[in-house]
């Protein structure tokens, strides 16, 4: 795998992706952040050696390099999901590549269903911890040159970045909450009984991504910061018919606020 990573990194460097400090992964309906990236170089995933192809509507599928928050960044507009049929190694390959390009921290976003009864659609939840019910991306032989066999997960989400983001949100007058994100394979949204079960075991929100990427980043000791935009509610009495389009629309409503927080956070980390 290391050989593929190095190969892809060489290709990206030859196209101008030089020494990014931060990696960004944008979730469903949250790609609007990319319009705030200056001096962009963008490459469709299809043109990048060893990258899988994104197949979901609303995931444009481009890797973007440029300036954001006064730093050089590399951003994924659209991510790869397990439910699309990719293996975990493919889903997380871009994170390996970002690390090898030189990122010092990873910033992620996603759309999620709120299981916490206090949440409303449009809320911004800073992820403080996760419960990963997706297959672990580190299953299989381990390459010690990349990371340890048994990575620690006691601080999957960097406490300093969380504290900084909360201060920034406060200054900007944007309300945020802190919660536990639970990942499932999808692609179905949950039944009411499943939402109740996930709430019972400690989830504030549920989605279909993020934890494989965070596990992979932590395997390589990259600090992570992630936010969920609450796009629907998995709370008894508030569960409504959910579609990919309704999730996208709700995420887009909060996208600008999330971008403001991310921009200042990246400027200050």
Residues in contact with ligand HPA by CB under 6 A are 111-113, 186, 189-190, 206-208, 231-232, 234, 242, 247
Nearer to ligand HPA, 59 or 96 (CB): 59
Closest residue to ligand HPA using C-beta atoms: 113
To the nearest whole angstrom, how small is the minimum distance from the Cβ of residue 207 to ligand HPA? Answer: 4
Three-state SS across 225-246? Answer: EEEEEEEEECCCCCCCCCCHHH
Separation of CA 131 from chain center: 15
What does the alpha-carbon distance between residue 53 and residue 79 come to, in Å, rounded to a whole number?
9
Nearer to ligand HPA, 100 or 254 (CB): 254
What separation, in Å, do the N-terminal and C-terminal C-alpha atoms of the chain show?
Answer: 30
Nearer to ligand HPA, 111 or 124 (CB): 111
To the nearest whole angstrom, how small is the minimum distance from the Cβ of residue 1 to ligand HPA? Answer: 28
Residues 6+ apart with CB under 8 A from 102: 19, 20, 21
The token pair that represents 196 in the structure block: 């109740």
Nearer to ligand HPA, 70 or 187 (CB): 187
Nearer to ligand HPA, 20 or 113 (CB): 113
To the nearest whole angstrom, how small is the minimum distance from the Cβ of residue 86 to ligand HPA? Answer: 17
What does the alpha-carbon distance between residue 212 and residue 88 come to, in Å, rounded to a whole number?
7
What does the alpha-carbon distance between residue 231 and residue 57 come to, in Å, rounded to a whole number?
17
To the nearest whole angstrom, how small is the minimum distance from the Cβ of residue 96 to ligand HPA? Answer: 25
Nearer to ligand HPA, 112 or 138 (CB): 112
What does the alpha-carbon distance between residue 239 and residue 236 come to, in Å, rounded to a whole number?
6
To the nearest whole angstrom, how small is the minimum distance from the Cβ of residue 268 to ligand HPA? Answer: 29
To the nearest whole angstrom, how small is the minimum distance from the Cβ of residue 122 to ligand HPA? Answer: 13
| Pair 237, 117: CB distance under 8 Å | no
């Amino acid at each position: 795998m290391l050989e593929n990573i190095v190969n892809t990194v060489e290709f990206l460097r030859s196209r101008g992706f030089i020494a990014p400090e931060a990696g960004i992964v944008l979730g469903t309906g949250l790609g609007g952040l990319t319009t705030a990236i200056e001096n962009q170089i963008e490459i469709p995933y299809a043109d990048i050696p060893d990258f899988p192809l994104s197949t979901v509507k609303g995931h444009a599928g481009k890797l973007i390099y440029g300036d954001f928050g006064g730093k050089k960044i590399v951003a994924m507009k659209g991510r790869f999901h397990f439910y699309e049929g990719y293996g975990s190694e493919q889903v997380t390959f871009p994170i390996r590549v970002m690390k090898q390009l030189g990122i010092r921290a990873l910033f992620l976003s996603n759309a999620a269903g709120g299981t916490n009864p206090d949440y409303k659609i449009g809320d911004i939840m800073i992820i403080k911890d996760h419960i990963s019910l997706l297959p672990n991306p580190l299953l299989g032989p381990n390459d010690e040159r990349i990371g340890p066999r048994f990575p620690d997960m006691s601080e999957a989400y960097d406490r300093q970045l969380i504290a900084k983001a909360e201060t920034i949100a406060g200054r900007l007058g944007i309300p945020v909450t802190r919660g536990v994100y639970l990942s499932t394979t999808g692609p179905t949204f949950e039944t009411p009984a499943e939402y109740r079960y996930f709430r019972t075991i400690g989830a504030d929100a549920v989605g279909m991504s993020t934890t494989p990427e965070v596990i992979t980043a932590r395997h390589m000791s990259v600090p992570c910061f992630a936010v969920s935009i609450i796009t629907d509610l998995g709370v008894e009495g508030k569960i409504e018919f959910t579609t990919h389009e309704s999730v996208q629309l709700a995420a887009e409503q909060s996208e600008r606020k999330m971008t403001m927080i991310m921009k200042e956070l990246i400027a200050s980390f």
